[in-house]
A and B are shown apart, each in its own frame.
Chain A
């Protein structure tokens, strides 16, 4: 049977995979019927409001709890004095993947926006006013807010378990031997995820059983973390997360405020809803840390890189560790005999930074792509030609071959579509009919092809239909559709004959919807589960003398459209329903697992790639910039649903525009408060900022990443795009702005 599961039983014909299906949940969403976490109202539910700190560092010395409690409609005020006990201290850190939380463990304040009390009321209004009445008093200490404040140290690792230093070859020798060199310092600001849906939770206890509605990108991790904190069994926790209004990493791990909602429900013994206000999203639920990146590059007379040195200064919080791994892209992207990346960091009085869409890659890519552009200019070369000249045939820092890499095709197809040929080498050469400066830039996109661990269950039912279950998460990316497509093919059924269940902690663990790894991980688990179910069914049939498949053993069978067929004679076959009926079975079940293949990983470097071409227009006197055209060409292995994938690329490319031109948290250097903690003033692109977008899906077959050949597409669009836009601004104006987002005054030549 195992042999069958591994064999080609499972060939698909007329498959769902590869079809540009529209979102299966689309109608629910556009008609308002999709039930998001905060849409739930269990009977007897109360409302909780957070009170958060306005100082960034110090202690809370007083809260007017009596005033809050006396307010009509307020039911309870939760402070460190009465917060229900936890089984684990919120600051315990069992592994690097467990992050510390602020759960009212004491009166310490470690960042602005930290929860310091929770007020629970009969209405949201009562709770909100109760929280305002707390009028906290503080003993404040000076906040540390900048990348030069406090002690600089070298973190033992960056990102999730990546080394903070990678050395390959002799950079100093490479620089010394170079015919041309550049050194540049790039700065990226703190950014916040700003998912449309704020973190929200509806929590209800029944004794020691806990029922939760909350958006989560990782149901099993969330459940395990909650079980640990409350000292209850995972079986006693049920989390429903059918839809997320975006997550971008901020909902990857359960965050402190969600746990506070659970604590509040415990305190009052009634269901409680807690929804963060928009401004409360700028503190306890993660952000992308600021970076300052110093790049030194050298190239020989022919434009071949001789050295890349990439140093990253970043910041974590004062109490926990997450260091933006911005050097990672440099390890894989361009060939160079010498590559060194290093990191150091300071500790700031902010919430702990967290993964945010393309963590590390986004910040690192915009700096590296800028520096590469500068190097190309220093060599007098076209930036695309320079990138091709330094094309990495193997992963430069490891020497491993790529499992697949269609980047050359991406460059070629993207450039052709964009019309790159004829681009003037020198900047400030192009104008449009209105006299606006026009510039073209290119950036290379890259993102690792990762997988986590996931499981799935597939069932074939007596009527021939199927069920596939997996605790997968749809953040809006289209998992409800893409994974159902894989599920249908795995069972040899049409998509409408398969009931696909996801978004619930009671289902098999699908791993985290992050790292652009969800479709690969969950997809492989589903693929395996379907194969297992089919293999069991085939075994039944082949062992049954009454079946036309009897004895098909060595030739094997094929599953297609609800039937098993003999591979050597497809006219002989029967339906799943017939096989199950004869065997007297109501259903047959299969299980599958998705995980990285360590042997393949050992031998191959696995990354998705792409090339992004951008056109911008710039007002020469006023400095206002608009991206007018973006063409991306991406190769990411097998594409399950081209429509969803295109949307992911578009979203990523728009994010790139945002990174280059718009997005930044404005932090007051004295108080440490984010001064633009709202969507009016924390700028992201609006429709009028969006260029004409094109995303080309470049064909790539990867036999090594996993059996389905899937890489990830969720994050790669951000990389390359931001750099392409910034490089286009340089090409338009001749001004190289190395501080993001690019400011009007810098482009207008007025930066002080």
Chain B
């Protein structure tokens, strides 16, 4: 048996203390971590189970109209929370487009942020992978990299962050609350994940042993609720990671775009917010031309990292799509196929 310590702390402070031991990992639902352990990819010496830690599973309204979501809130519980979905429809849509119903019923907010890449070489201990073993090399570079990054990648690592949830979150300026031995700190989600550079093994700004306790959406983010969508291109209709995805959240005033919040998924080692594209749209009239310009700006720096140049144009197109849908208005109810390009959008003219 692969022996490891299993600790079930009763408070956040206990959890943080327990995880201070090097080689520790927090266990949330385990939908990612346990697979990695079974595959011999991660071998933590100690699991600190968050299951009984109080105070991590609430969805709380904040005085500014925002929302504080505990790190252990289940993906499905959050997506189906009526107050949440009404105020942050694109986030709910992204959540419901992830994984499968069974996984969403288990997977947590914190686990979703910190899930590891799906790069197949990372999961295969026989392959060289700088993320798994710093300095070992990157077998994806010359290997099967059709779905790898086109933005922000480095020679050392071309993996993507697979989360859907994080894409609208980063667009809406979510903030991550972190608890460590030195106390509590906050980091904007946009700065939470790190690009690989020369240290792809470091995926976030979390110091070893630090715990994500909550994710906060500011009140002003609810101001986009009327025009907020997430769209995800997949190789099957459900239960597949994004080839590329996009979140578009607009605030319209007098028929013009007062403010745009845009992010791409499946393109980089982090959920990729695109301020340049947001700037293009500021004050613009919604329409195909403006959207295309925004998409050009969003991908201006994109570079294929292998046999994946097609993703750049697909990313542009999916951003245009998300913008078109967002401009048309958030539907009263989420489509039966959330975030799917194949969902019915009666009345919206999408295709040229």
Question: Do A and B belong to a common assembly?
Answer: yes
The reply on A496 being an interface residue by CB < 8 A is no
Chain B contacts for A437, CB-based, 8 A: 351
Task: Determine whether the beta carbon of B307 is less than 8 Å from that of A752.
Answer: yes
- B310 CB contact (under 8 Å) in A126, A624, A750: A750
Selected interface stretch from A304-312, A332-340, A361-369, A683-691: A683-691
- Closest A residue by C-beta to B2: A129
Task: Determine whether the beta carbon of B352 is less than 8 Å from that of A681.
Answer: no
Chain B contacts for A575, CB-based, 8 A: none
The reply on B30 being an interface residue by CB < 8 A is no
Per-residue interface assignment for chain A, residues 118 to 144, with 1 indicating a CB less than 8 Å from any chain B CB and 0 otherwise: 000001011001001000000000000
Task: Determine whether the beta carbon of A662 is less than 8 Å from that of B309.
Answer: no
Indicate whether A132 sits within 8 Å of B341 (C-beta atoms), given known contacts A72-B1, A662-B235, A688-B237.
no
The reply on A671 being an interface residue by CB < 8 A is yes
- A622 CB contact (under 8 Å) in B118, B124, B233, B352: B233
Task: Determine whether the beta carbon of B237 is less than 8 Å from that of A626.
Answer: yes
| Residue of A54, A123, A619, A666 with most partner-chain B CB within 10 A | A619
The reply on B52 being an interface residue by CB < 8 A is no
Chain A contacts for B142, CB-based, 8 A: 670
Report the separation of the CA atoms of residues A125 and B318 in the bound assembly, to the nearest whole angstrom: 45
Report the separation of the CA atoms of residues A621 and B292 in the bound assembly, to the nearest whole angstrom: 13
Task: Determine whether the beta carbon of A617 is less than 8 Å from that of B342.
Answer: yes
Selected interface stretch from B63-71, B76-84, B212-220, B238-246: B238-246
Report the separation of the CA atoms of residues A223 and B76 in the bound assembly, to the nearest whole angstrom: 49
Chain B contacts for A623, CB-based, 8 A: 233, 314
The reply on B183 being an interface residue by CB < 8 A is no
Chain A contacts for B318, CB-based, 8 A: 622
- B238 CB contact (under 8 Å) in A619, A666, A688, A751: A688
Indicate whether A688 sits within 8 Å of B321 (C-beta atoms), given known contacts A125-B1, A683-B235.
no
Task: Determine whether the beta carbon of B2 is less than 8 Å from that of A132.
Answer: yes
Task: Determine whether the beta carbon of A622 is less than 8 Å from that of B321.
Answer: yes
The reply on A6 being an interface residue by CB < 8 A is no
- Closest B residue by C-beta to A685: B236
Chain B contacts for A436, CB-based, 8 A: 342, 351
Per-residue interface assignment for chain A, residues 672 to 707, with 1 indicating a CB less than 8 Å from any chain B CB and 0 otherwise: 010110001101011111000000000000000000
- A435 CB contact (under 8 Å) in B118, B125, B349: B349
A736 to chain B, nearest CB (A): 18
Chain B contacts for A683, CB-based, 8 A: 235-236, 240
Report the separation of the CA atoms of residues A689 and B337 in the bound assembly, to the nearest whole angstrom: 11
Determine chain A's interface SS by DSSP, over half rule: loop
Task: Determine whether the beta carbon of B310 is less than 8 Å from that of A745.
Answer: yes
Chain B contacts for A680, CB-based, 8 A: 239
Interface footprint category on A: 35 or more
Per-residue interface assignment for chain B, residues 319 to 352, with 1 indicating a CB less than 8 Å from any chain A CB and 0 otherwise: 0110000000000000001001110111011111
- Closest B residue by C-beta to A684: B236
A654 to chain B, nearest CB (A): 12
Chain B contacts for A431, CB-based, 8 A: 351
The reply on A599 being an interface residue by CB < 8 A is no
Report the separation of the CA atoms of residues A54 and B139 in the bound assembly, to the nearest whole angstrom: 14
Report the separation of the CA atoms of residues A169 and B2 in the bound assembly, to the nearest whole angstrom: 66
- Closest B residue by C-beta to A433: B346
Task: Determine whether the beta carbon of B2 is less than 8 Å from that of A622.
Answer: no
Report the separation of the CA atoms of residues A688 and B101 in the bound assembly, to the nearest whole angstrom: 12
Task: Determine whether the beta carbon of A434 is less than 8 Å from that of B144.
Answer: no
Indicate whether A744 sits within 8 Å of B352 (C-beta atoms), given known contacts A129-B2, A621-B321, A681-B118.
no
- Closest B residue by C-beta to A123: B1
B352 to chain A, nearest CB (A): 7
- B317 CB contact (under 8 Å) in A73, A621, A666: A621
Per-residue interface assignment for chain B, residues 120 to 149, with 1 indicating a CB less than 8 Å from any chain A CB and 0 otherwise: 110011110000000000010011100000
The reply on B8 being an interface residue by CB < 8 A is no
A457 to chain B, nearest CB (A): 45
The reply on B287 being an interface residue by CB < 8 A is no
How many chain B residues touch A (Cβ–Cβ < 8 Å)?
Answer: 45
Chain A contacts for B350, CB-based, 8 A: 434-435
- Closest A residue by C-beta to B99: A680
Per-residue interface assignment for chain B, residues 173 to 204, with 1 indicating a CB less than 8 Å from any chain A CB and 0 otherwise: 00000000000000000000000000000000
- Closest A residue by C-beta to B238: A688
Task: Determine whether the beta carbon of B349 is less than 8 Å from that of A750.
Answer: no
The reply on B86 being an interface residue by CB < 8 A is no
Per-residue interface assignment for chain A, residues 423 to 437, with 1 indicating a CB less than 8 Å from any chain B CB and 0 otherwise: 000000001011111
Q: From residue 60 to 91 of chain A, which have CB atoms closer than 8 A to chain B? A: 71-73
- Closest B residue by C-beta to A748: B314
The reply on A39 being an interface residue by CB < 8 A is no
Task: Determine whether the beta carbon of B124 is less than 8 Å from that of A673.
Answer: yes
The reply on B285 being an interface residue by CB < 8 A is no
B327 to chain A, nearest CB (A): 16
Task: Determine whether the beta carbon of A689 is less than 8 Å from that of B238.
Answer: yes
The reply on A668 being an interface residue by CB < 8 A is yes
Indicate whether A668 sits within 8 Å of B314 (C-beta atoms), given known contacts A624-B342, A675-B120, A686-B237.
no
The reply on B40 being an interface residue by CB < 8 A is yes
Q: From residue 161 to 176 of chain B, which have CB atoms closer than 8 A to chain A? A: none
The reply on A256 being an interface residue by CB < 8 A is no
Per-residue interface assignment for chain B, residues 1 to 34, with 1 indicating a CB less than 8 Å from any chain A CB and 0 otherwise: 1100000000000000000000000000000000
Q: From residue 605 to 654 of chain A, which have CB atoms closer than 8 A to chain B? A: 617, 619-624, 626
Task: Determine whether the beta carbon of A745 is less than 8 Å from that of B314.
Answer: yes
- B120 CB contact (under 8 Å) in A434, A626, A676: A676
Report the separation of the CA atoms of residues A622 and B349 in the bound assembly, to the nearest whole angstrom: 15
- Closest B residue by C-beta to A121: B1
Report the separation of the CA atoms of residues A745 and B125 in the bound assembly, to the nearest whole angstrom: 30
- B139 CB contact (under 8 Å) in A71, A617, A662, A668: A668
Per-residue interface assignment for chain A, residues 734 to 752, with 1 indicating a CB less than 8 Å from any chain B CB and 0 otherwise: 0000000001110010111
The reply on A96 being an interface residue by CB < 8 A is no
The reply on A669 being an interface residue by CB < 8 A is yes
Report the separation of the CA atoms of residues A621 and B318 in the bound assembly, to the nearest whole angstrom: 8
Task: Determine whether the beta carbon of B139 is less than 8 Å from that of A626.
Answer: no
The reply on B155 being an interface residue by CB < 8 A is no
Chain A contacts for B344, CB-based, 8 A: 433-434
Indicate whether A126 sits within 8 Å of B235 (C-beta atoms), given known contacts A624-B341, A675-B124.
no
Chain B contacts for A743, CB-based, 8 A: 235
A478 to chain B, nearest CB (A): 27
Chain B contacts for A748, CB-based, 8 A: 310, 313-314, 317
Indicate whether A666 sits within 8 Å of B120 (C-beta atoms), given known contacts A626-B237, A685-B236, A688-B337.
yes
Chain A contacts for B235, CB-based, 8 A: 662, 683, 743-744
- Closest B residue by C-beta to A667: B144
Chain B contacts for A72, CB-based, 8 A: 1
Task: Determine whether the beta carbon of A619 is less than 8 Å from that of B342.
Answer: yes
A126 to chain B, nearest CB (A): 6
- Closest A residue by C-beta to B344: A434
Chain A contacts for B238, CB-based, 8 A: 686-689
Task: Determine whether the beta carbon of A675 is less than 8 Å from that of B121.
Answer: yes
Report the separation of the CA atoms of residues A197 and B350 in the bound assembly, to the nearest whole angstrom: 43
Per-residue interface assignment for chain A, residues 707 to 747, with 1 indicating a CB less than 8 Å from any chain B CB and 0 otherwise: 00000000000000000000000000000000000011100
Report the separation of the CA atoms of residues A71 and B142 in the bound assembly, to the nearest whole angstrom: 38
Indicate whether A751 sits within 8 Å of B2 (C-beta atoms), given known contacts A621-B321, A624-B342.
no
- Closest A residue by C-beta to B304: A752
- Ordered by A's residue number, 12 sampled pairs between the chains whose C-beta atoms are within 8 Å are A125-B1, A434-B350, A617-B342, A619-B341, A621-B320, A621-B352, A661-B236, A671-B127, A675-B121, A683-B236, A743-B235, A750-B314
Give me 5 other A-B pairs in contact (C-beta within 8 A), A126-B1, A675-B143 excluded: A132-B2, A621-B320, A662-B235, A671-B139, A750-B313
Interface residues of B (CB under 8 A from A): 1-2, 40, 100, 118, 120-121, 124-127, 139, 142-144, 233-240, 243, 307, 309-310, 313-314, 317-318, 320-321, 337, 340-342, 344-346, 348-352
Interface residues of A (CB under 8 A from B): 54-55, 71-73, 123, 125-126, 129, 132, 431, 433-437, 617, 619-624, 626, 661-662, 666, 668-671, 673, 675-676, 680-681, 683, 685-689, 743-745, 748, 750-752
Across the A-B interface, give the 6 residue pairs with the lowest CB-CB distance, nearest first. Answer: A54-B126, A435-B351, A688-B237, A750-B310, A675-B120, A745-B310
